[in-house]
Structure 1
Amino acid sequence: MTMEFKEKDLDLQNIITDEVNKYLKRDLSTLPASRVASPELINKYEKMEVPEDGRDIYEILNELDSEILEYIHRGNHPRSFSFIPGPGSRLSWLGDILTTANNIHASNFKNANLPISIERNLINYFAGKLGWPIKPAGGVFVSGGSAANLTALVTARDEKIELKDLHKATVYISDQVHHSVTKAFHIAGFLKKNIRRVPVDEDFKMRVDELDKIITQDKKDGYTPVLVVATAGTTNTGAVDDLNKIADICESHDTWLHVDGAYGLSHLLSTKGRELFPGIERVDSVSWDAHKLLFQTYSCAMVIVKEKQHMLNSFSEEAEYLTDVQSDDDVIDPEMIGMELTRPARALKLWITLQVLGESQYRARIDYGQELAELTESVVSEMEHWHITSKASLSILSFKYVHPSLTAAQNNKVLSNAAQRMASSGYAVTYTTELNKEKVIRMCTINPETTKDDIIGTLNRLNEFVIDEVEIVRS
C-alpha cells in the first residue's frame, strides 16, 4: 500500500515546461538591472507561515513571478557592471536542470561514475591551461571562490606546518586580496595577528620587495612563513600580481604560493592566454570560479593543486559505511580531496557548455569583454572631469569624477549618490568601490550580451546623475 501525495495531482510537466519557456523568452535588457523590495514585502515573506493544507500552486507561481523573483539584483543583466557579474549561459542552466532532476550525489565514483569522470577530465583540462602536468596535479569542484580558497589554505597549512605549531605560522596577502581569503584564514585557524598585509604599488600589485623583507624579518623573529596568497585579477582593478617574482621569494623561503584566480584565470582561454599570467605554472594551488567568466550559473568553482597528494593528506578519511562504494586505488573520489561529502555534479553543466560552444566561442566571448572595457576607458577619458583610476585589465577598470570646485569629500559624495541613483533607476548597476581612500566607479564588462550602446548609454546616464548631484551639493 502506498500513500497518495498532493504533488502527484499537480500538472507539473506542463507547469515546468511553461515556466522554462517563459524564462527562455525573456529579454533581460528590458527588465530592471536591480530592484529592491519594499519593507512591507520583506515583512510579508519573513512572517509568512507554512500552511497546514497547502496552497494553490498557481498562486505561489504568481508570487514568485510578480514579487519574489522581481526584486533582485540581476547579475546576468547586460548592464550589470558591479560585483563581477555572473552572466550564466542558458546551456549551464540546462545542465542545472538535468543534474537537479537526477539528484546526483557526486561524492564518489560508484555513485556517479561518468559525471565524476567528467569532473576529473575538466580538472585535468584546466590544470593543463595552467601549464601543470595532468599527473600529479588534481583538484575538485566546489561551491565558489570562498570554498576554493579555504580548501587550498587548509591544504597548504597541513603541508607546511604541524597544527601544534600553528601559533607560529605567518601568512601574506596584499590589501587588494578578496575578503574570502581573510575569512578562510580564520576558519583554518591562522591567528589574526599573524596575517601580514603587504602594500601594493601604483598598479595595485603586491610589492614583492616588501614581501621579501617582511618574510625575512618574520623568520628572524621566530615565525614560520607558511603561505603567500597572490591574486590573478583583483576584484577592484583586475590587477595581476607578479607571479614569477613572488614564486622566487616563496621558493627561497620554502613557502606555499596560492593564487586567487577566481575571476581572472578564465582569461587563460582568451587570445592572449598564458601571457597574461607569467609564472602561473610555478604556483602551488589556485582557485578558479566557473560561475564568473566561464559563464556558469551559481554555483560552480574549482580548486586545483599542483600535487594532488597534498589534498588527499588533508581531506581523506575512513568511514565504515562507505566501504562498499569506495573506488579502486586508481580513482580518487572527490570526497577524499575536499570538504564535501554530499555534493552535486557541478562539473556537468560546465562540460555541456564547453562541449557545445568550444574553445573558439569562449575565446571570442572573453576577448569581447576586454574590448568593452577598453571602449569604456576610451569614452570615460573624453568625459569632462572624469579620470581613469585603473586602466582596463581583464575586462575591469575603475574611474572617478573630480570637479575642481568641490572638495575630495564632496566629490566622493557626488559619485556615491550618482551610483545609487543609477541602481535605483533600474537601467544599470555601477556601484562604487574605494581605491587610495577615494570613491571610484568600478565596471566589469564580461557579459557577452552587453552591447556598445549599453556601455555608452550607461556612461551618459552616470554623467547626467553626477552633474545633477554637483548642482545639489553646490546649491
Structure 2
Amino acid sequence: VSLLEEYYQKAINDGITVFAIVGSAPSTATGMYDDLKKISTFAKKHNIWFHVDGAHGGASIFSAKYSHTVNGIDQADSVVIDGHKMMMMPTITTALLFKNGIHSYTTFSQKADYLLNKSRDEDWYNLAKRTFECTKTMMSIQWYTLLKTYGEGIFDEYLTTLYDLGHKMAEMIEIDSQFELAVKPMSNIVCFRYFDSSLNNSELNQLNKRIRHQLLEEGEFYIVQTKLNGIHYLRITIMNPFTTIAHLKRLLEKIKEKSKSIRTST
C-alpha cells in the first residue's frame, strides 16, 4: 500500500490515465488480503473507481472470526464474489455488487428493438439490459436458497472451519525444518515447499515440481503450484470442511516420502 502513491504518480507522469484500482480479497496465488481500508482512502483521494476482487474470499464477511480480513470492503464501488468457491454453491455462481445500483446499467448495454424497450423505471428483473447475454441462468436462486434455508450462519461455519485449517496447516509447517512457508496464510490457501538447506533454489524448485507430479499421479492428494520471486511452491486450497488435521499430516508425510524416494533414485 505504501507504494500506491509512487506508482500512481509515475503512471500520471507517463501519460497514463488511472481510472480504477483493484483490491484483492484475497490474492489467488497466495491467499493474502490487501488492506482494503487504505486502498479505499487512496481511491477517494484520487477520485478513482475502487473494485474489490473477492471472488475467493469475499465471503469472509460472514465469518465472525475472519471478517476483519475484508475491513473496508463496504467502501468499494463494486465487489465480485464467487458463490461456488467459499459459499458451497454449484459452479458458476458469481455475484457482482455495486454500491450504486444504477452503475450496473452503465457498464454493459445493448440495443435490440425486438427485445428491449426503453423504460422510465429501473427494470431490475431484466438482466438483458445489464449483460451481453439474453439467455442467462438465474444464478441468484442459489444464493437465495442457501440464505433462506440455512441463514448466514452456514457461511460463517464453513469459511471459519476452512480458514482455521489453513492456519493449522501453517503451524505444522513452521515447526518442521523440512518445510518452508512462502507467506503466513490469511485464508485456506497455503503455499509452502519441501526444504533442505543443502540444496540451492534451482535444485529445490526441481525437487518440489517432481514431488507434486508424483502426488498427482498417485491420486491420494491433489495440490497445485505457484511461483513467487522465482521460487517454486506447492499450493493447497482446503475446500472440504470434513478435512482433518490427520489428512494434513498425512500430506506432509507423503511429501517427505516422495522427496526421499526421488533423491535416492537420482
TM-score using structure 2 length: 0.91
1:253 aligns with 2:38: no
Partner letter of residue 55 of structure 2? A
Distance in 1 between the 2:173 and 2:10 partners? 44
For the pair 1:304 / 2:78, whether they are aligned, the reply is no
Q: 1:321 to 1:407 in 2, by over 3 A?
A: same
When residues 366 and 327 of structure 1 are mapped into structure 2, their CA distance, relative to the original with a 3 A threshold, is farther
Q: How far 1:323 moved relative to its partner?
A: 4.9
SS of equivalent residue, structure 1 residue 258: strand
Q: Does 1:295 align with 2:92?
A: no
Shift in alpha-carbon separation, 1:321–1:273, aligned structure 2, 3 A = farther
Q: Which structure 2 segments of 5+ residues have no match?
A: none
Aligned counterpart in structure 2 of residue 421 of structure 1, from 198, 214, 219: 214
Gaps of 5+ in 1: 1-207
> For residues 350-390 of structure 1, what are the alpha-carbon distances to aligned partners after superposition, in whole Å with 9 as ceiling and x for unaligned?
32233333222221111110121122112222333211221
- Displacement of 1:255 in angstroms is 1.3
Q: Partner letter of residue 61 of structure 2?
A: L
**Normalising to structure 1: TM-score of the pair?**
0.53
AA in 2 matched with 1:407:
N
- CA–CA distance in 1 between the matches of 2:131 and 2:37? 28
Give the helix-richer structure, 1 or 2: 1
Deviation at 1:468, TM superposition (A): 1.7
CA distance in 2, matches of 1:329, 1:323: 13
C-alpha distance in 2, partners of 1:339/1:469?
51
Is residue 42 of structure 2 the alignment partner of residue 232 of structure 1? no
Report the Cα offset of residue 392 of structure 1.
2.4
Aligned to 1:331: 123
1:377/1:310 CA distance change after superposition, 3 Å: same
| Residue 171 of structure 2 is aligned to residue 378 of structure 1 | yes
Matches for 1:75-114 after TM superposition, within 5 Å = none
Residue range with higher mean Cα deviation, 445-454 or 277-286: 445-454
Q: Which amino acid aligns with 1:259?
A: V
- Residue aligning to 1:365: 158
Contact kept in structure 1, 2:116 and 2:129, CA below 8 Å? no
Q: Following superposition of structure 1 onto structure 2, how do residues 31-430 of structure 1 map, counting pairs within 5 Å?
A: 208-323=1-116, 329-332=121-124, 333-430=126-223
Q: Distance in 1 between matches of 2:11 and 2:205?
A: 38
Taking structure 1 as reference, are residues 298 and 469 closer, same or farther at Cα in structure 2, changes over 3 Å only?
Answer: same
How far apart are 1:292 and its partner, in Å?
0.3
Q: Over residues 240-297 of structure 1, what are the superposed CA-to-partner deviations in whole Å (9 max), with x where a residue is unaligned?
A: 1121222222222221111111001011111235422121111111111011001111
How has the CA–CA distance of structure 1 residues 435 and 223 changed in structure 2, closer, same or farther, with 3 Å as cutoff? Answer: closer
CA separation of 1:383/1:223 partners in 2, compared to 1, >3 Å: closer, same or farther? Answer: closer
Q: What is the rounded CA distance, in whole Å, between the counterparts of 2:63 and 2:245 in structure 1?
A: 20
Q: Is the contact between residue 370 and residue 446 of structure 1 (CA under 8 Å) also seen in structure 2?
A: no
Secondary structure of residue in 1 paired with 2:20: strand
Shift, 1:467, TM fit: 2.0
Residue 227 of structure 2 is matched in structure 1 by: 434
Give secondary structure in 2 for the equivalent of 1:288: strand
| Distance across 1 between alignment mates of 2:189 and 2:105 | 36
Distance in 1 (CA, whole Å) between partners of 2:65 and 2:44 is 27
Distance in 2, matches of 1:313 and 1:367, equals 36
Distance 2:200 2:110 in 1: 60
Q: Aligned-pair distance for 1:427? A: 0.1
Shift of 1:464: 1.0
Structure with more contact order per residue of length (Cα contacts < 8 Å, sep ≥ 6):
1
Distance 1:221 1:374, change over 3 A: closer
Please tell me the root mean square deviation across aligned C-alpha atoms, in Å: 2.0
Identity score, percent = 25
Which residue is equivalent to 2:261? Answer: 468
State whether residues 420 and 431 of structure 1, in contact with CA within 8 Å, keep that contact through their aligned partners in structure 2.
Answer: no
- Quote the Cα distance in structure 1 between the aligned partners of 2:101 and 2:142: 24
Cα distance in 2, alignment partners of residues 352 and 396 from structure 1: 27
Cα distance, 1:328 vs structure 2: 7.5
Residue in structure 2 matching 1:450, options 243, 248, 251: 243
Counterparts in 2 of 1:408 and 1:314: CA distance versus 1, 3 Å:
closer
Aligned partners of 2:122, 2:107: CA distance in 1, in Å? 18
SS in 1 for 2:30: coil
CA contact (8 A) 2:60 2:159 kept: yes
Q: Flag as ranges the 4+ runs of structure 1 deviating above 4 A.
A: none
Contact 1:267 1:394 in 2 (8 A): no
Q: Size of the alignment, in residue pairs? A: 265
Letter in 1 for 2:29: N
